[in-house]
Structure 1
């Protein structure tokens, strides 16, 4: 055998293997299109390989998956978890969970480098936990679990000299995982000093990126935890259709069943495994010295904000609470916690990140937390009240104003940062309303002080007359509040009983002998109209004639809805007629004497009397033509007469606030009557014109080109009034937004 042949037998296989490796890692490879099942599996796996991986995330984001950044709370997959809700109710988005124990801002900044193009002008959800903001900041060992050299190389090759770049390079040099490669280490040192990479460094890193990307393509999907069966199992527990009230009841039931072995409202399993009675004594007052107000995490968080801003990502930030009972036991300062929240909020809002769900004060609510620091049943449901409308709204370009001050140690160590003023937060919230299509008047009151009184748009486009705070709008169904209160006033005077049957006044109504006054007030009478948009006689004669016409031609009794709330104006039209019968006065005179004259309401009038009142300025309603142009909408006075007591008043924001606060403060009816019909409830219950939530009362009106959203806190000190004479893009989405804004207003410091 020749020497050449012997040499080939020895070195040939090695040479071939080397050539194959070069082909394998230096030539771009695509490991086939990721299947839908593989993407779903990856989105809920929370595996480290997925977190580090590039190709699987890129494929998922390109197919509509939305990144949900966070930490270990994302692993609490009960039935109300975002991934379960999206799967169960076939949402048009799927969360891609990116978070685990120890993942913090620095981790998320570098994982974002692998999906820069896929994030551009998209949406994301970011759960930012105050617990990240410790004195030490990011734990190096935890960072290493989620970090890959591909992340570093991707970032290095795209980096341009800036304060953010120099800071990120220095931070990565602090991490053992970041300096594991000498090439990466020297490149980071170059960037940290503000210098450009050499041509050799760039060429080498590009080749290395190709190798790392091929490696990722082959191996990032291996070893994924399969949580799909868990998601499917939890989804099977949920009601068939999405309804908040039903889900809230379900959450309470699940929470009650799952927290029976401890006094902290912590899930049984977590308590048995992590706490139990053996360890409790050691943990008492163990967190008294915790401080989240001074931390390098604030600068790391700024890296995340810089990346999101550069890619114009529309982000919903969620700030979770801690378990209030557990915090008291361990001595964790709630004052300190709120100072941290204020600092985070300041860092966000000052740079234009205004989409914030601040849940930090909800840790004492029932079944809100699953354990000591992680969201659970009602907590996840609350998150969904922000996520669902956020994902449903049309995406819009976002421009942020970054400030490099937030990279400084001065900011990281700054204490006594105040929560942004309620007024500035309210102004930011108004921008959200504007994006949702609200044009008109907004009044916000905090602790009986006006913090915002803003008018936009025109009351009369053709005459260029703008809306002003004195402009009155048609309030539609909010009128029912005043009718309901008038009914309670007659109950106080013994002219009516809530138990009186409808047959006593209008025996011709189907099943009137079964229907009570109280059921009319709560809309549980089983009545509705054949045509809800047209009540009363075609041409107005008088109030009673209109009601008789409705009874004969337009009233239906549906036994399926008896004793169930079904919204219909006919309930309050009938109540208005009953008021006239028991008082022997017109409904109009009752309203004028009880409200307009007594309270001095100068910007309130019945719609049909507007021509007689030269002082009141009423906005003209506008709708869109088939060509998409704004055109004035004509409202027939005959039609409005038909909605007697259900929707026939025009009011300014100021008058609406004055009248409703007078009702709830006992100026119109006795406090006992207020308590009877306007008792806070969870879930909210409708009675006498208001939906009564745990913390506030709500009433809404929409029709004929006008929209009104009204919210007032139980103590009447906080108020939100929104009225528009322009088309609203999504009435129900804005209604939920108003509920969220009201909760934020109540929580906000003065």
Structure 2
């Protein structure tokens, strides 16, 4: 009976051992070449939290990395993934981000690839909602945090040490880092002059490197197994049309899909909050996006991109003005954000597509916070101009 009981355990251990000792290069050779292209629109969490797929993507001139958060999942015919598929401009947008992916998460991700960013064009979609007074909270940070990227930062000697220390101090305020005794010790030793802490970190480093190696292998196996294939509704109706035509069609579709409210929110989204709408009137009185810890986190991203020689275009998405007025969110609290974020970006010499003047533009937003039909048309035009090195990246931005 004991032999029967232990046989599966022994077999499982042997299989695990074999999987661990297989050289990474062997696993990489088994990964289909098509995996990178499939990942461009999958919005796969494993891809965000790993590094192999993004590293391969950055090696190719075929992809234009597009960083953001939940708006990337709002696919319609005007979404960049569809527009540039139907109108071949020589590149494919590669979507990186999901709900709750804010500056610090993007910073960690980008630190993995600093040597690949020199001269690399990319698009970075900013959401005002990131800029809450206390910045990203646990509910947004925890699901998007990558342990692999956290450990890689500990051993990263390529980025500016001052920048690294500032990032580590912020990361140490979040529970996944605090509760990881080995990583938190490495981090604390990095920012401390405490010889005892540094001696402890030195003893832990060999174990941390082994653990990091296991995380890298896990990333490769997930990539080999493949992601999940979302059903993406792709439309050819945007092919070969002028920006004026596309804007007209965006207005028509927006009007058709947003009939049951005066906020220009899609009927389906409004139905989800309809019962709560009366209770939400003026509940945001006194709020502002002009003061937030997030500006510090965002500066880490800007500093890293500048140090790496990247060429980003930032998309400044507005809020839904009618809805924000209804909730009592002061106009001044929004304007402060638009001005501050623009100044912060331009101070580093980067381009920005400033769409803040479209708060009240019908169908620019799809709901209370996410960019919609017309907003994507303007974004597509900005991206195309940017990719073509047209410094008027933002013909329609103002």
Q: TM-score, normalised by structure 1?
A: 0.48
Q: Which residue of 1 aligns with 2:354?
A: 358
Q: Which residue of 1 aligns with 2:331?
A: 334
* Deviation of the 1:114 alpha carbon: 2.8
Alignment of 1:253-264 (within 5 A): 253-264=252-263
Change (3 A) 1:10 1:110: closer
CA RMSD of aligned residues (A): 2.7
Distance of 1:180 and 1:204 partners within structure 2:
17
* Deviation of the 1:322 alpha carbon: 0.8
Structure with larger RCO (C-alpha < 8 A, sep 6+): 2
**SS of the residue 1:357 aligns to:** strand
Corresponding residue to 2:104 among 103, 106, 116: 106
Tell me, yes or no, if structure 1 residue 45 matches structure 2 residue 42.
yes
* 1:44–1:83 Cα contact (<8 Å) kept: yes
Q: Which residue of 1 aligns with 2:119?
A: 121
* Deviation of the 1:309 alpha carbon: 1.3
Change (3 A) 1:738 1:234: closer
Change (3 A) 1:218 1:15: closer
* Deviation of the 1:45 alpha carbon: 1.6
Tell me, yes or no, if structure 1 residue 391 matches structure 2 residue 387.
yes
* 1:29–1:214 Cα contact (<8 Å) kept: no
**SS of the residue 1:186 aligns to:** helix
**SS of the residue 2:304 aligns to:** helix
Q: Which residue of 1 aligns with 2:234?
A: 234
Tell me, yes or no, if structure 1 residue 182 matches structure 2 residue 181.
yes
**SS of the residue 2:357 aligns to:** coil
* 1:89–1:241 Cα contact (<8 Å) kept: yes
Q: Which residue of 2 aligns with 1:65?
A: 63
Change (3 A) 1:308 1:20: same
Q: Which residue of 1 aligns with 2:244?
A: 245
Change (3 A) 1:140 1:247: same
Change (3 A) 1:106 1:15: closer
Q: Which residue of 2 aligns with 1:265?
A: 264
**SS of the residue 1:127 aligns to:** strand
Alignment of 1:442-457 (within 5 A): none
Alignment of 1:212-611 (within 5 A): 212-220=215-223, 222=225, 224-227=227-230, 229-230=231-232, 233-236=233-236, 238-273=237-272, 275-276=273-274, 278-353=275-350, 355-393=351-389
* 2:70–2:97 Cα contact (<8 Å) kept: yes
Report Cα offsets for 1:516-575 as digits up to 9, x if no partner: xxxxxxxxxxxxxxxxxxxxxxxxxxxxxxxxxxxxxxxxxxxxxxxxxxxxxxxxxxxx
**SS of the residue 1:126 aligns to:** strand
* 1:265–1:366 Cα contact (<8 Å) kept: yes
Distance of 1:738 and 1:43 partners within structure 2:
23
* 1:157–1:205 Cα contact (<8 Å) kept: no
Whose helix fraction is larger, Structure 1's or Structure 2's?
2
Q: Which runs of 5+ in 2 are unaligned?
A: 1-5
Whose strand fraction is larger, Structure 1's or Structure 2's?
1
Tell me, yes or no, if structure 1 residue 56 matches structure 2 residue 49.
no
* 1:111–1:147 Cα contact (<8 Å) kept: no
Q: Which residue of 1 aligns with 2:168?
A: 169
* Deviation of the 1:358 alpha carbon: 0.7
Distance of 1:60 and 1:119 partners within structure 2:
11
Matched pairs, number: 387
Q: Which residue of 2 aligns with 1:96?
A: 94
Q: Which runs of 5+ in 1 are unaligned?
A: 1-7, 394-732
Structure showing greater radius of gyration is: 1
Distance of 1:246 and 1:367 partners within structure 2:
15
Q: Which residue of 2 aligns with 1:652?
A: none
* Deviation of the 1:68 alpha carbon: 1.1
Tell me, yes or no, if structure 1 residue 210 matches structure 2 residue 213.
yes
* 1:111–1:151 Cα contact (<8 Å) kept: yes
Change (3 A) 1:40 1:83: same
**SS of the residue 2:112 aligns to:** helix
Q: Which residue of 2 aligns with 1:81?
A: 79
* 2:31–2:224 Cα contact (<8 Å) kept: no
* Deviation of the 1:348 alpha carbon: 1.8
Change (3 A) 1:27 1:124: closer
Change (3 A) 1:258 1:13: closer
Change (3 A) 1:309 1:240: closer
Distance of 2:327 and 2:9 partners within structure 1:
67
Report Cα offsets for 1:278-307 as digits up to 9, x if no partner: 111011112223221221111111111122
Distance of 1:33 and 1:372 partners within structure 2:
44
**SS of the residue 2:155 aligns to:** helix
Report Cα offsets for 1:17-70 as digits up to 9, x if no partner: 67535414x765433365454323312122222211211222222233222111
Report Cα offsets for 1:600-619 as digits up to 9, x if no partner: xxxxxxxxxxxxxxxxxxxx
Q: TM-score, normalised by structure 2?
A: 0.88
Distance of 1:259 and 1:22 partners within structure 2:
53
Distance of 1:206 and 1:35 partners within structure 2:
28
* 1:56–1:221 Cα contact (<8 Å) kept: no
Distance of 2:150 and 2:168 partners within structure 1:
9
Distance of 2:224 and 2:171 partners within structure 1:
26
Q: Which residue of 2 aligns with 1:144?
A: 142
